[in-house]
Amino acid sequence: MSFRMRLPSADYFSDLMKAVQAVVDEGTFKIDQEGMKLIAMDPAHISLVDFELSSSAAEEYVCEGELQMTVSISELMKFLKRAKKGESLTLSYDEGAKKLELTLVDATGSREKIFTLNTLETVEARSVTPRLSFDAKARVGVDAVKDAVRDSGVVSDYVKITINPDAVVFLAKGELGTVQTKLSKMGAAVYEIEADKEVWAHFSINYLDKIVKPASSLSDEVVMQLSTNKPIKLSFPIPSGRLEYLIAPRIEGA
Protein backbone atom coordinates (compact mmCIF):
# COMPACT_ATOMS: atom_id res chain seq x y z
CA MET A 1 0.00 0.00 0.00
CA SER A 2 1.21 3.48 -0.65
CA PHE A 3 0.46 7.07 -0.04
CA ARG A 4 1.33 10.35 -1.72
CA MET A 5 0.78 13.93 -0.66
CA ARG A 6 1.92 17.23 -2.17
CA LEU A 7 2.13 20.24 0.14
CA PRO A 8 2.65 23.77 -1.17
CA SER A 9 5.22 24.60 1.51
CA ALA A 10 7.99 22.33 2.71
CA ASP A 11 8.79 24.86 5.43
CA TYR A 12 5.36 24.52 6.93
CA PHE A 13 5.62 20.76 7.12
CA SER A 14 9.02 21.12 8.70
CA ASP A 15 7.52 23.35 11.40
CA LEU A 16 4.80 20.78 12.04
CA MET A 17 7.35 18.05 12.51
CA LYS A 18 9.32 20.19 14.94
CA ALA A 19 6.14 20.54 16.95
CA VAL A 20 5.67 16.76 17.04
CA GLN A 21 9.31 16.26 17.94
CA ALA A 22 8.74 18.24 21.13
CA VAL A 23 7.13 15.09 22.50
CA VAL A 24 8.47 12.10 20.61
CA ASP A 25 11.45 11.30 18.51
CA GLU A 26 10.16 8.12 16.98
CA GLY A 27 6.62 8.47 15.74
CA THR A 28 4.08 6.25 14.06
CA PHE A 29 1.75 8.08 11.68
CA LYS A 30 -1.58 6.55 10.82
CA ILE A 31 -2.49 7.52 7.30
CA ASP A 32 -5.86 7.12 5.56
CA GLN A 33 -8.12 8.98 3.12
CA GLU A 34 -8.75 11.72 5.63
CA GLY A 35 -5.17 12.61 6.37
CA MET A 36 -2.16 11.73 8.51
CA LYS A 37 -2.49 11.44 12.28
CA LEU A 38 -0.23 10.81 15.18
CA ILE A 39 -0.98 10.45 18.86
CA ALA A 40 2.00 9.77 21.04
CA MET A 41 3.34 10.10 24.54
CA ASP A 42 6.91 10.74 25.55
CA PRO A 43 8.67 7.78 27.17
CA ALA A 44 8.12 9.11 30.67
CA HIS A 45 4.38 9.49 29.98
CA ILE A 46 4.40 13.13 31.02
CA SER A 47 3.37 14.76 27.75
CA LEU A 48 1.24 13.77 24.82
CA VAL A 49 0.88 15.15 21.31
CA ASP A 50 -2.24 14.76 19.20
CA PHE A 51 -1.45 15.77 15.65
CA GLU A 52 -3.43 15.64 12.46
CA LEU A 53 -2.84 17.04 9.03
CA SER A 54 -5.96 16.64 6.96
CA SER A 55 -5.91 15.78 3.28
CA SER A 56 -7.44 19.18 2.54
CA ALA A 57 -4.07 20.77 3.38
CA ALA A 58 -2.59 19.06 0.35
CA GLU A 59 -2.62 20.06 -3.29
CA GLU A 60 -2.58 16.43 -4.17
CA TYR A 61 -3.48 13.54 -1.87
CA VAL A 62 -3.63 9.88 -2.74
CA CYS A 63 -3.99 7.13 -0.19
CA GLU A 64 -5.15 3.60 -0.74
CA GLY A 65 -6.51 2.03 2.40
CA GLU A 66 -5.02 2.57 5.82
CA LEU A 67 -1.37 2.42 6.56
CA GLN A 68 1.15 3.05 9.28
CA MET A 69 4.49 4.73 8.89
CA THR A 70 7.10 4.88 11.65
CA VAL A 71 9.93 7.35 11.27
CA SER A 72 12.64 8.85 13.36
CA ILE A 73 11.58 12.46 13.37
CA SER A 74 15.09 13.73 14.03
CA GLU A 75 16.26 11.90 10.89
CA LEU A 76 13.33 13.29 8.94
CA MET A 77 14.21 16.78 10.19
CA LYS A 78 17.72 16.44 8.78
CA PHE A 79 16.17 16.24 5.32
CA LEU A 80 13.52 18.87 5.89
CA LYS A 81 16.18 21.33 7.00
CA ARG A 82 17.53 21.20 3.44
CA ALA A 83 14.30 22.74 2.16
CA LYS A 84 14.59 26.29 0.83
CA LYS A 85 11.96 28.98 1.04
CA GLY A 86 9.20 28.56 -1.50
CA GLU A 87 9.88 24.91 -2.20
CA SER A 88 6.98 22.53 -2.33
CA LEU A 89 7.12 19.09 -0.74
CA THR A 90 5.81 15.78 -1.95
CA LEU A 91 5.79 12.89 0.46
CA SER A 92 5.37 9.45 -0.93
CA TYR A 93 5.54 6.30 1.10
CA ASP A 94 5.65 2.72 0.03
CA GLU A 95 4.70 0.51 2.95
CA GLY A 96 6.21 -2.59 1.35
CA ALA A 97 9.58 -0.99 0.59
CA LYS A 98 9.66 0.78 3.97
CA LYS A 99 10.88 3.94 2.33
CA LEU A 100 9.62 7.49 2.56
CA GLU A 101 10.49 9.68 -0.39
CA LEU A 102 10.62 13.44 0.02
CA THR A 103 10.62 15.50 -3.15
CA LEU A 104 11.42 19.19 -2.91
CA VAL A 105 10.60 21.34 -5.94
CA ASP A 106 11.41 25.05 -6.20
CA ALA A 107 8.80 27.68 -7.14
CA THR A 108 9.67 27.66 -10.83
CA GLY A 109 9.44 23.90 -11.01
CA SER A 110 12.89 23.72 -12.54
CA ARG A 111 14.78 22.07 -9.70
CA GLU A 112 13.79 18.87 -8.01
CA LYS A 113 15.55 17.24 -5.07
CA ILE A 114 14.63 13.76 -3.90
CA PHE A 115 15.52 12.41 -0.48
CA THR A 116 14.77 8.87 0.57
CA LEU A 117 14.40 7.98 4.22
CA ASN A 118 14.37 4.43 5.51
CA THR A 119 11.43 4.04 7.81
CA LEU A 120 11.43 2.01 11.00
CA GLU A 121 9.71 -1.10 12.21
CA THR A 122 6.36 -0.17 13.75
CA VAL A 123 6.12 -1.21 17.35
CA GLU A 124 2.51 -1.57 18.37
CA ALA A 125 2.09 0.83 21.26
CA ARG A 126 -1.04 1.39 23.22
CA SER A 127 -1.83 5.00 22.54
CA VAL A 128 -4.57 5.67 24.99
CA THR A 129 -5.67 9.25 25.27
CA PRO A 130 -6.68 10.00 28.83
CA ARG A 131 -10.28 11.08 29.18
CA LEU A 132 -10.27 14.47 30.78
CA SER A 133 -12.69 17.24 31.54
CA PHE A 134 -11.67 20.82 32.12
CA ASP A 135 -13.11 23.44 34.42
CA ALA A 136 -11.56 26.43 32.73
CA LYS A 137 -10.51 27.52 29.31
CA ALA A 138 -8.52 30.52 28.09
CA ARG A 139 -7.58 31.62 24.61
CA VAL A 140 -4.31 33.48 24.85
CA GLY A 141 -1.69 35.02 22.55
CA VAL A 142 1.06 32.47 22.10
CA ASP A 143 3.96 34.89 22.48
CA ALA A 144 2.69 36.07 25.83
CA VAL A 145 2.61 32.46 27.04
CA LYS A 146 6.06 31.77 25.65
CA ASP A 147 7.47 34.79 27.48
CA ALA A 148 5.70 33.94 30.72
CA VAL A 149 7.15 30.43 30.66
CA ARG A 150 10.65 31.65 29.94
CA ASP A 151 10.49 34.37 32.57
CA SER A 152 9.45 31.75 35.12
CA GLY A 153 12.47 29.70 34.16
CA VAL A 154 14.71 32.35 35.65
CA VAL A 155 13.88 31.20 39.18
CA SER A 156 12.50 27.68 38.96
CA ASP A 157 12.06 24.41 37.08
CA TYR A 158 8.31 24.58 37.33
CA VAL A 159 5.53 27.10 37.21
CA LYS A 160 2.05 27.36 38.69
CA ILE A 161 -0.53 28.19 36.08
CA THR A 162 -3.80 29.67 37.34
CA ILE A 163 -6.90 30.48 35.34
CA ASN A 164 -9.55 32.52 37.09
CA PRO A 165 -12.51 34.38 35.60
CA ASP A 166 -10.41 37.52 35.21
CA ALA A 167 -6.91 36.46 34.32
CA VAL A 168 -4.34 33.84 33.47
CA VAL A 169 -1.49 33.88 35.98
CA PHE A 170 1.96 32.27 35.81
CA LEU A 171 3.78 32.09 39.12
CA ALA A 172 7.21 30.62 39.73
CA LYS A 173 9.00 30.46 43.06
CA GLY A 174 12.62 29.61 43.62
CA GLU A 175 15.50 30.25 45.98
CA LEU A 176 16.33 33.34 44.01
CA GLY A 177 12.86 34.86 44.33
CA THR A 178 9.56 34.79 42.51
CA VAL A 179 8.36 35.65 39.03
CA GLN A 180 4.75 36.39 38.27
CA THR A 181 3.09 37.12 34.94
CA LYS A 182 -0.53 38.15 34.99
CA LEU A 183 -2.41 38.21 31.69
CA SER A 184 -5.66 40.07 32.33
CA LYS A 185 -8.89 39.39 30.56
CA MET A 186 -9.07 43.00 29.49
CA GLY A 187 -5.58 43.00 28.03
CA ALA A 188 -4.35 42.44 24.50
CA ALA A 189 -2.91 38.97 25.16
CA VAL A 190 -6.08 37.30 26.38
CA TYR A 191 -8.81 36.79 23.82
CA GLU A 192 -11.24 34.81 25.88
CA ILE A 193 -11.65 33.19 29.29
CA GLU A 194 -14.33 30.69 30.24
CA ALA A 195 -14.10 29.97 33.95
CA ASP A 196 -16.57 29.88 36.81
CA LYS A 197 -13.89 29.53 39.47
CA GLU A 198 -10.19 29.62 39.92
CA VAL A 199 -8.26 26.53 38.85
CA TRP A 200 -4.54 25.88 39.02
CA ALA A 201 -1.76 23.33 38.66
CA HIS A 202 2.04 23.18 38.47
CA PHE A 203 3.93 22.22 35.35
CA SER A 204 7.49 21.52 34.34
CA ILE A 205 8.95 24.52 32.53
CA ASN A 206 11.09 22.18 30.51
CA TYR A 207 8.05 20.47 29.02
CA LEU A 208 6.10 23.71 28.53
CA ASP A 209 8.95 25.41 26.75
CA LYS A 210 9.73 22.41 24.59
CA ILE A 211 6.13 22.46 23.34
CA VAL A 212 5.27 26.13 23.17
CA LYS A 213 8.41 27.15 21.31
CA PRO A 214 7.91 25.18 18.08
CA ALA A 215 4.13 25.58 18.20
CA SER A 216 4.48 29.34 18.38
CA SER A 217 5.73 29.45 14.82
CA LEU A 218 2.58 27.65 13.65
CA SER A 219 -0.10 29.54 15.49
CA ASP A 220 -0.60 32.99 17.02
CA GLU A 221 -2.84 31.79 19.79
CA VAL A 222 -3.14 28.92 22.16
CA VAL A 223 -6.19 27.52 23.90
CA MET A 224 -5.33 26.47 27.43
CA GLN A 225 -7.68 24.13 29.29
CA LEU A 226 -7.19 23.28 32.92
CA SER A 227 -8.65 21.83 36.11
CA THR A 228 -7.00 22.01 39.52
CA ASN A 229 -4.07 19.58 39.82
CA LYS A 230 -4.97 17.92 36.54
CA PRO A 231 -3.18 17.81 33.20
CA ILE A 232 -3.25 20.92 31.05
CA LYS A 233 -4.39 20.82 27.45
CA LEU A 234 -2.75 23.18 25.01
CA SER A 235 -4.40 23.47 21.59
CA PHE A 236 -2.76 25.40 18.80
CA PRO A 237 -5.22 26.10 16.00
CA ILE A 238 -3.68 25.31 12.62
CA PRO A 239 -5.35 25.35 9.20
CA SER A 240 -6.49 21.95 7.96
CA GLY A 241 -5.31 20.11 10.98
CA ARG A 242 -4.97 19.65 14.69
CA LEU A 243 -2.10 20.28 17.07
CA GLU A 244 -2.90 19.56 20.71
CA TYR A 245 -0.84 18.64 23.72
CA LEU A 246 -1.41 17.34 27.20
CA ILE A 247 1.09 17.81 30.01
CA ALA A 248 0.76 16.05 33.34
CA PRO A 249 1.08 18.30 36.39
CA ARG A 250 3.54 18.17 39.22
CA ILE A 251 1.72 17.62 42.43
CA GLU A 252 3.00 20.19 44.88
CA GLY A 253 1.77 21.00 48.34
CA ALA A 254 1.18 24.66 47.63
Site for other proteins, rule CB under 8 A: 41, 43-48, 128, 130, 157, 204, 231, 246, 248-252
Q: How far apart are CA 48 and CA 38, in angstroms?
A: 10
Q: Which is nearer to other proteins, 67 or 248 (CB)?
A: 248
Q: How far is the CB of 72 from other proteins (least distance, A)?
A: 9
Q: How far is the CB of 145 from other proteins (least distance, A)?
A: 20
Q: How far is the CB of 21 from other proteins (least distance, A)?
A: 14
Q: Which is nearer to other proteins, 41 or 199 (CB)?
A: 41
Q: How far is the CB of 42 from other proteins (least distance, A)?
A: 8
Q: Which is nearer to other proteins, 189 or 208 (CB)?
A: 208
Q: Which is nearer to other proteins, 184 or 229 (CB)?
A: 229
